[in-house]
Amino acid sequence: MSTIKNQDLLALKSYITAADSTQYASLASTTLILDLTHSNLHQRHAEIRFDKHDTVDELRRRIHQKSGTPPCMQHLQLKSAGGGAVFHEILPNMDSDRMLGYYNLPLGANKKNTTNGKGTLRDWGRKQKENDPEFSLKKHAREHAELVEARRLYKESGGVKDGFEIDESTGVIVRCSESETTNANGGDGKEKSESAADIEYGPESIQHLTLTSRCQVQPGSRRGSIAYLGPIPELGAGGHWVGVILDEPMGKTDGTVQASGVRYFEAPGSNRGGFFRGKNVVVGDYPERDIMDELEDSEDEL
């Protein structure tokens, strides 16, 4: 390696690398930082953060978001920091529920994704088209973008976009089956899909609810008080919504829609509110839970 003699460049190098030795000092003990690479694509996603309690399935979903390679096609190779030798391999559809902490990954480890079989993304697309004549890479990319958008919407507001649902086994947003989508749309195209959303989540979907009522919302049996009833155009899914101030910090908003900055109600914290569909909200005698009561009960249990 040649020696840098220019004093300005030396000063710049010193400034940039000054905190290298302490850049990870403030990380939580369970945080992992991985570099993601791909065998068939010229991609390198540096320093992607995970938690040791995240599963291999979550890792595969993140790779799918960034590369477009479906989880079922991913052959994972774990390498030491700096892209050294492979110290573990995870075959497609294996170890999906295993936590990343199991693999004793060092900070800055490299995770390489090798697609199942040789070839490029186009080769993979041709194989998919053999099984599904209607498949196309353009359609796959569009559906992938729609899934990412649906998960972003759920993360920001708790709302579930039409055509998607919450997988009860994993709690993750997934696309509804084709038969469910067809039935909801009456077998027609986009125009009926949009009108179906307005019908399913119209004013009658929240008519059983009243402002300030105590309620319980699903998923998670979370309790709180109703703070808003009505449409929220910024969410883009149509129909009417229910804004709830939650008793515990188990929400995704403070009453503001992040995409637009419009506030519909005021919650006491950034994770003390959420927007829900009327069908997921039940009003009734739902007092705030007392954690001390639960502790007392557990102490008396033998």
Please check the confidence at residue 8 and state whether its pLDDT lies above 70: yes
Distance CA 6, CA 16 (A): 16
Return the percentage of the chain with pLDDT > 70, whole number. 75
Q: What is the pLDDT averaged over residues 1-27?
A: 72
Per-residue confidence (pLDDT) for residue 114, from 0 to 100: 57
Distance CA 280, CA 247 (A): 17
Condensed to tens digits (0 to 9), the pLDDT of residues 117-173 reads: 445 566 767 788 888 888 887 787 788 788 888 887 777 666 777 788 877 777 778
Contacts of 132 (CB under 8 A, 6+ apart): none
Condensed to tens digits (0 to 9), the pLDDT of residues 85-114 reads: 787 888 888 888 888 888 887 655 555 555
The three-class DSSP label of residue 183 is helix
Instruction: Give me the amino acid identity at 170.
Output: T
3-state secondary structure 245-275: EECCCCCCECCEECCCCEECCCCCCCCCEEE
pLDDT band at 192 (very low <50, low <70, confident <90, very high): very low
User: For all residues of the chain together, what is the average pLDDT?
Assistant: 77
Distance CA 234, CA 156 (A): 12
Task: Choose among 292, 281, 196: nearest CA to 245.
Answer: 281
The three-class DSSP label of residue 115 is strand
The better pLDDT of the pair 62, 196 is held by 62
Per-residue confidence (pLDDT) for residue 116, from 0 to 100: 47
Please check the confidence at residue 75 and state whether its pLDDT lies above 60: yes
DSSP state of 6: -
Is the separation of the CB atoms in 124 and 115 below 8 Å?
Answer: yes
